[in-house]
Amino acid sequence: MRSFLDFEQPIAELESKIEELRHLPGAADINIADEVSKLQAKAERLLRQTYAKLTPWQKVLVARHPDRPHLTDYLAGLITDFTPLAGDRTFAEDRAIIGGLGRFRDTPVMVLGQEKGADTESRVRHNFGMAKPEGYRKARRLMELADRFGLPILTMVDTAGAYPGIGAEERGQAEAIARAIEAGLAVGVPFVSVIIGEGGSGGAIALATANRVLMLEHAVYSVISPEGCASILWRSGEHAQQAAEALKLTAQDLLRLGVADTIIPEPLGGAHRDHAATVATVGDAIASAFSSLAGMDGATLRLQRREKFLAIGQNGA
């Protein structure tokens, strides 16, 4: 069963009609087949039109779509010999962030990112992709390990944000994020980050201080969730749609602002409609991002990263 977003209802209706027709007793009938292909063409047209002009708020919904491919899908599709590494060596293992060694197209890499989970059980296990300090400390540990052994770093960002809780604050959520940012900026190895879904605030940038920041076409990346922003500035969460517009959080906005370097196109109707195609395109984009960094030594990579971030917001964009 595919889940449909509210604005996809007309498409959902067409698709269920198609399904119905297909299961009619005389589905092989030439008239019915004809009708089905007509409806299919219509559904595709509608899908194309809808996704060609998604509003920022609709993009937020697509980015959070429960069927959207998550980190584990990319790991399965892109990384061979994946060898997960656990723990921050201080307090705990945080399953909101998965990380480890593996091969990306034969090259050993360090890969890590947030995992939101795909069903109730896995969502709980991964804490809905909201990491605690341990997660960010593990991320830092893995980035430093990669740096020491000269392994390129690949991160995938997909989180509503860092987890807000008593324990997380007690154990230094802020410090853990700050150190992860610091570590990401300091490594002397190629570092590529992909915003695959939701890039939520500090919890996202902690893994995204990369040489190349790629974003999926309908991914979002923001300083605060539209709901949070609306409840503070409009004093009501109901203005989330307006907040989403104002925040300029779409991949297209971020490319313009120099925050994202590349937009990775999604299959028609969003990444959730075709996992395999999405994973393959993301793989190609990662490969070309890494190859654009090939030949740079550690100092150059660090310098490039610093200059890239220092330049953001400087052109009065």
In the complex, the residues that contact another protein under the rule CB under 8 A are 162-166, 168-175, 177-179, 181-182, 185-186, 201-202, 204-206, 209, 221-224, 228-229, 232-234, 239, 242-243, 246-249, 253-254, 257, 259, 306, 309-310, 312-314, 316-317
State the minimum distance, in angstroms, from the CB of residue 55 to another protein: 16
Which residues have C-beta within 8 Å of that of residue 258, sequence separation ≥ 6? 311, 312, 313, 315, 317
* Residue with Cβ nearer another protein (46 or 255): 255
Q: Is 158 helix (H, G, I), strand (E, B) or coil?
A: strand
Q: Which is nearer to another protein, 75 or 97 (CB)?
A: 97
Comparison of 66 and 165: residue with beta carbon closer to another protein? 165
E strand map for the chain? 79-84, 97-104, 107-114, 153-159, 191-200, 212-216, 220-222, 262-264
Which tokens in the block code for residue 249?
């959080």
Would you say 295 or 316 has its CB closer to another protein? 316
Q: What's the closest the beta carbon of residue 245 comes to another protein, in angstroms?
A: 9
Q: And the tokens for 8?
A: 């996809």
Q: How many residues does the chain have?
A: 317
Alpha helix ranges (H) inside 23-112 = 30-52, 56-63, 71-78
Place of tokens 């959902």: 12
| Least distance CB 277 / another protein (angstroms) | 28
Output the smallest distance, CB 241 to another protein, in A. Answer: 12
- Which one, 82 or 234, has the nearer CB to another protein? 234
